[in-house]
Amino acid sequence: MKSSVLKGLAALGMTALAYSFVGAANAQSLEERAESGQPIRIGFANEIPFAYPGDDGSPKGFVNVITIGILEKMGYSNIEPVQTEWGGLIPGLNANRFDIVTGGMNILADRCANIAFSEPIAKVGDGFIVAPGNPNDIGDYSSLVTSEAVMVTGAGYSNIEAARAVGVSDANIMQVPGPTEILAAVRAGRADAGAGTYFTMKQLADSSGGAVEASDPNAMPEDSFNWAGIGFRETDQDFLAKFNTALADYIGSGEMLAAVSEYGYGEGSLPGDQTTEWVCDNR
């Protein structure tokens, strides 16, 4: 019996030791991981053209391209893509399942309270997909109220708060996992308008074979524009500061614009002079 107890205690000790090693690994900062040669894990959902997996699982989309380009300028090329649902990006980052969020996430006050953002990488307008001919004359969020339209958008998307802000009721806001389901809801007539970034909505319209069309982005008010950034854990401020230094040299360069042109990102998508601090305070 005594031998069995000792063996059991020894086993418990080994298990505790194993967990301590796992905990130590998880406690490493991003800078420590990168400097020790471990892969930098980038987390994203399936959000064309921002960030999505290619047929071979490789990271595609202009946010992934920009992020990887910056990391390479910093001397890091060991990158590991991690795909997840949109709603799992911030929780996954803070749970250490990946190191950076590259999902094409708008910088918003409530998100700034949970993660740290890089300086902006793009200025992003909202858009809708609607039935051909736009029968409900949907051009901005206020028109959803006027027409009593049902809007479908992704769970966790900034479009939810934008719609609520002008009086769209929660009963008329349908939340789904992502772009595929947004398109399906509008095609099936379960929603009158699908909402997301104009980049994404235009891509959905172009891929629909004429089943839906994208609304005019110029109908959106100026305060509906947002700025996208790259997400980091609050504890990785040292790495983020170096990332921002490299970003300042890379963003808008000829090299960067050539790399992202296939995704529809041009000079008009550049973030301008707005800082993350300003965006966190005003969006």
pLDDT at 104: 87
- Using an 8 Å Cβ cutoff, are 83 and 46 in contact? yes
Amino acid 124: pLDDT: 87
pLDDT score for 19: 35
Output the pLDDT for position 122: 95
List Cβ neighbours of 194 (8 Å cut-off, separation of 6 or more): 128, 129, 130, 151, 152, 153, 182, 183, 185, 186, 201, 204, 212
State the pLDDT at residue 72: 97
Strands 122-124 and 173-176: what pairing? unpaired
The hierarchical CATH code for the domain 126-224 is 3.40.190.10
So where are the chain's domains?
31-123+226-282, 126-224
The pLDDT assigned to 28 comes to: 83
Per-residue pLDDT at 11: 42
pLDDT at 26: 54
What is the model's pLDDT at position 256? 97
**Residue 216: other Cβ atoms inside 10 A:** 13
User: Taking the CB of residue 240, how many other CB atoms lie within 10 A of it?
Assistant: 24
Q: Outline where the chain has alpha helix (H).
A: 2-26, 30-35, 62-73, 89-94, 109-112, 141-146, 159-165, 179-187, 198-207, 237-250, 254-260, 276-282
pLDDT tens for each residue of the chain, 283 residues long? 434 433 443 443 444 434 333 443 456 899 999 999 999 999 999 988 999 999 999 999 999 999 999 999 999 999 999 999 999 999 999 999 999 999 889 999 999 999 999 999 999 889 999 999 999 999 999 999 999 999 999 998 989 999 999 999 999 999 999 999 999 999 999 999 999 988 889 889 999 999 999 998 878 888 778 899 999 999 999 999 999 999 999 999 999 999 999 988 888 889 999 999 999 999 8
Q: The tokens of 267 are what? A: 């000079």
Contact between 233 and 94 under an 8 Å Cβ cutoff? The reply is yes
Structural domain 31-123+226-282, CATH architecture: 3-Layer(aba) Sandwich (3.40)
Are the C-beta atoms of residues 138 and 149 closer than 8 Å to each other? yes
Please check whether residue 155 is in contact with residue 210, taking contact to mean a CB–CB distance below 8 angstroms: no
